[in-house]
Structure 1
Amino acid sequence: MAATKKKAAATTAGTSRTRLASLIKSARDTMRKDAGMNGDLDRLPQLSWLLFLKAFEERVEQEGEALDPDGYRRAIEEPYNWGKWATDPDFSGNELKSFVNEKLIPYLAGLVGEDAEDPRNVLSTIFKDVVNRMQSGTLLRELVDIVNQIHFVSTDDIHTMAFVYESILKEMRDAAGDSGEFYTPRPVNRFMVQQSFLELGDSILDPASGTGGFLVQAYEELKGQVKTSTQRRRLHANIRGIEKKPLPYLLGSMNLLLHGIDAPHVQRDNALLVMRNYNASDKVNVVLTNPPFGGEEESTVVKAFPDGFRTQETAWLFLYSILDQLKLGGRCAIVLPNGSLFATGENSIGAKIKKKLMKDCNLHTIVRLPQGVFAPYTQIPSNILFFEKTGPTQEVWFYEIPLPEGRRGYTKTKPIRVEEFQPCVDWWGGKERKGRQLGEQAWVVPASDIIASGYNLDIANPHVGDDLTHRTPEELVDELVKTETEILGLLKELRAGLEASTGAE
């Protein structure tokens, strides 16, 4: 087996991004010929689960056997392991299709691990929701042959494949945007992780982990500090996620596997229910997340929350859950829309949650993002809240990331860049946030003023005038839509509150 592995590594040495991109293109061209494939929302998951099995064979199974030739027990046994069924060029047509549909996928979905570290748990969770959508066994054979040309043995190969795979994820996000799913641009991921000042030993959670962007970025940030195998195992265990939907769960697991985490600690479940059932030992040091907002949760989820904090707005439920989930001294970076910051009033659930936030935590920084950061999925203006569970808030610093000169917003083809966060990083003042100064982009508001306003955190930059004569018609319409949306949200909360009080009588 070691000789086979060495040969495979030699065969793939020097594989370029261009070569991998060409193979991925061939794979997608093959899937386009199949009658069962309807667009990228079918093709990309199909390719991903095949890539996952190939990567699992080389990254986990073969490496495990090389390290422990006599004692390693394969997670996937014959004839279901990749090397047995996928490498036989004569195994094709209806015979291959029937094997995959009736034997392989059910077998993988039925695997049971012996403990939390057992990779069979990840495999079974993924394949419970996997469906082979290809109707032609011959085309399926062609696709498997293409995947067989992609290798995950050497470090260079893994990094190259990870780069190409991220381009697949980006296209997946573009396709999923039509479904109302918003994905966090990589520069925003990187900024949030960087300004959270992660340390080796921190337990890190993303309760809406999606395709794993925050978790991968956190892992990349910390892995250079690892000195021992014990530290490496602990780091892998400390990178945790929860994802409700099967497709993002598959993509996220694949993403983490490619970046070196062989048994990703991502749970496929509704995070709002999972976190309600957590105990003290489950609390974490750091939460990094961009929860879904604008959506509505089903009544069984809402009823799991205490009276006075029940709402169908997912963003509020996530924020409330995170406040409970953090250890004392823990910290969080979370994306929230402007409408969430604005919610005020004694009967507003949003205001009540913000009151709890500022009472329990030090909400030290709100970074206001420019228009269109999440384009093309939404034009809703958003913010990043940074807070620590270290005691009540005394003051809140605001920093506004400006649009590049001459731009009115971001687009799919011209997204936000990492460099645009650098002035904010320079202003931040390091881990202790020392030496912050007021400026055109930065201002500070005492907690007493925010409390007096009914916990309104949607505070505009006082250094920027709002002269209507200098605003475009598009900007005025966007502002009107934003205001009407916020009013509608408040009316929904008021109605829900009235219904709750009527039901309690």
Structure 2
Amino acid sequence: MAKRRQAADAPVTTAQKLGALLKSARDIMRKDKGLNGDLDRLPLLTWLMFLKFLDDHEQTAETKAVLARKPYTPTIEAPYRWRDWGANDALTGDELLAFVSAEKTILPKVAGSDGVKEGPGLIPYLRKLSGSNDPKRQVVGEVFGGVINRMESGFLLRQIVIKVNDIHFGSSDEIHTLGHLYESMLKEMRDAAGDSGEFYTPRAVVKFMVAALNPRLGEAVLDPACGTGGFLVEAFAHLEQQARKGKAEDIKRLQVGSIFGQEAKPLPYMLCQMNLLLHGLDAPAIDKGNSLEKKITDITDAERVDVILTNPPFGGEEEDAIKNNFPAERQTKETALLFLQLIMRKLKMPPKPGRAAVVVPNGTLFGDGVCGRIKTDLLKNFNLHTIVRLPNGVFAPYTSIPTNILFFDRSGPTTDVWYYELPLPEGRKQYTKTSPLQFEEFAGCLAWWPAREENDRAWKVPAAELLANGCNLDRKNPRAKADMEHLPPEQLVESILAKEARIAALMGEIKELLAEGAK
């Protein structure tokens, strides 16, 4: 009994409290007929938390301005601030739904206001902020550009708002904990997304790529297809460890000019903003739109960056207008190849050459034509120093396509390309959703990285040899057993035909033996 009482009296941790709060909010959302799965629930929870987060920060900033006797202009005006409607429990049911979504509605009363006022609802008001000259208001307007409230019950919505109101974004402990919880929710959304699983790159792959590139404080890090911000969050955490506590110069470097991204889809764009805010980046510099929309030859030195970390979409196709932004001899509709060209162009040139880590499908390694010309440029004008070959199932169950990570920089032409083949754990045939790749499995590669020698998993190929063979980068491990997964298509066909011929021969021999036995 004493042990049970002690457990019951144990203090509730921040993680437990916030975890229970978020679970409770999601349980309430499941009761609403307008929401269809986590792909609807997480965005709703995100924009509610975003507004609560923003208002908590605004109140802190406003208090500081008053104490310093300085004027303060809020990003969101009354009565659209969270404190005006989110903390007002009397606003519920149909009135709450109208206030949130209607183009014109009765507005909540705030202290000092007289009479009943009409105006645009919350979401229409927030959308109009995108036309503001104020950068913070523009971000808010862009975030809410694609937001739609799908909840049908204003009473259930009020219950969720009450839960979110209990999150204290003024507490660094709560923000840090919520950041981790939010990442787990993003992973769940990826799992719920099915064919739309482009939201999430496995955390182990992200951590490895950041650790291998090792961005330094003062460098600009870019993800041109940032999704929900996994690479940028990890890069920010990596840079944050380098900032000296109490050093205003380091904090400014970290917060301004370090992290940049761009995302075309409204939902991942909003999720990315929230993800970065929760991890401590005060004003995320994330552009909304397709990174491929700008003519590649118009990219200037000022737009180039030190580090690019990305897993651009592959398997998709772009429209002709996008294709025409690239040189005639390198035009293609294949998204992965267009992004690869963009990344090459966006890296800083010597004397401080930029560097990149990019996830690509196997097809990029053995492709010819336009793909071959892009790889020729990569070998001749960039230093493609490493290709990490990932094992099967890293992105399962959303794609079974084998994937690789290209590491290159702009220090000069390639001399040798190092390959490192990441093995599957002993006894495993592939990864799955329930048994994913772990960061610890990259330990051998990271230990090998600074002092490279050929071994059972690592080998190098001269760039001259690759160029002489049509830039086919799909090279097998010379010390490994035959592996069908990484063979080029023509070798796959030959191998399959040879095996079928052997099987036919064996069947013929068996038939003859059976015939002799029957005599």
1:249-304 alpha-carbon deviations (Å, 9 max, x no partner): 01110000001112110001001114735322111111100000010001110111
- What is the aligned partner in structure 2 of residue 61 from structure 1? 58
TM-score, normalised with respect to structure 2: 0.84
Pairing of 1:214-363 with structure 2 (within 5 A): 214-227=231-244, 228-236=247-255, 237-274=257-294, 276=296, 277-328=298-349, 329-344=353-368, 348-363=369-384
Counterparts of 1:182 and 1:46, CA distance in 2: 16
CA deviation map 1:385-433 (0-9, x unaligned):
110101110100000110000000101111111110000000001xxxx
Secondary structure of the residue aligned to 2:412 is coil
Deviation at 1:30, TM superposition (A): 1.2
Query: Superposition pairs for residues 180-219 of structure 1, below 5 Å?
Result: 181=198, 183-219=200-236
Deviation at residue 305 of structure 1 after TM alignment: 1.0
Structure 2 CA distance for aligned equivalents of residues 208 and 275 of structure 1 = 17
Cα deviation, residue 443, structure 1: 0.1
**1:225 alignment partner, SS class:** coil
Contact 1:364 1:397 in 2 (8 A): yes
Equivalent-residue separation in structure 2 for 1:290 and 1:415 (angstroms)? 17
SS at match of 1:333: strand
Is the contact made by 2:476 and 2:486 (CA closer than 8 Å) also made in structure 1? no
1:78 aligns with 2:78: yes
Cα deviation 1:332-352 (Å, max 9, x = unaligned):
0000011110113xxx10000
Equivalent residues in 2 for 1:100-499, closer than 5 Å: 100-102=100-102, 103-112=121-130, 118-179=135-196, 181=198, 183-227=200-244, 228-236=247-255, 237-274=257-294, 276=296, 277-328=298-349, 329-344=353-368, 348-429=369-450, 435-466=451-482, 483=489
Contact 2:101 2:149 in 1 (8 A): yes
Alignment match, 1:49: 47
Q: How many positions carry a matched residue from both structures?
A: 455
Preserved contact between residue 182 and residue 378 of structure 1 (Cα < 8 Å): no
In 2, Cα distance between equivalents of 1:412 and 1:159: 26
Report the residue type matching 2:293 in the other structure: L
Q: Which has the higher contact order (CA 8 A, sep 6+)?
A: 1
Say whether the 8 Å CA contact 1:199–1:222 is kept in structure 2. yes
Residue 231 of structure 1 and its aligned partner are, at CA, apart by: 3.3
Q: Is the 8 A contact 2:416 2:461 kept in 1?
A: yes
Stretch deviating more after TM superposition (84-93 or 19-28): 19-28
Q: TM-score, normalised by structure 1?
A: 0.86
* Residues 1:15 and 1:82: Cα distance change in structure 2 (over 3 Å): farther
Q: What is the DSSP-based 3-state SS (H/G/I as helix, E as strand, rest coil) of the residue aligned with 1:436?
A: coil
Work out whether residues 312 and 339 of structure 2, in 8 Å CA contact, stay in contact via their aligned partners in 1. Answer: yes
Q: Distance in 2 between matches of 1:296 and 1:113?
A: 31
Contact 2:388–2:420 (8 Å) recurs in 1:
yes
The unaligned stretches of length 5 or more in structure 1 are 1-12, 430-434, 468-475, 488-505
Instruction: Give the root-mean-square deviation of aligned CA atoms.
Output: 2.0
Task: Tell me the residue number matched to 2:5.
Answer: none
Distance 2:491 2:429 in 1: 21
Superposition deviation, residue 68 in structure 1: 2.1
- The CA deviation at 1:61 is 0.8
Q: CA deviation at 1:85?
A: 0.6
Q: 2:145 and 2:345 mapped to 1: Cα distance?
A: 31
**Contact 2:221–2:308 (8 Å) recurs in 1:** yes
C-alpha contact (below 8 Å) 2:127/2:140 kept by paired residues = yes
Q: Sort the Cα spacing of 1:125 and 1:486 in 2 relative to 1 into closer, same or farther, 3 A.
A: farther
In 1, Cα distance between the equivalents of 2:47 and 2:295? 28
* Superposition deviation, residue 14 in structure 1: 6.4
- Measure the CA separation in 2 of the matches of 1:325 and 1:86: 43
Shift of 1:182: 5.8
Q: Deviations over 1:195-250 (max 9, x none)?
A: 11211111110001001011011100011222433432332332000000011001
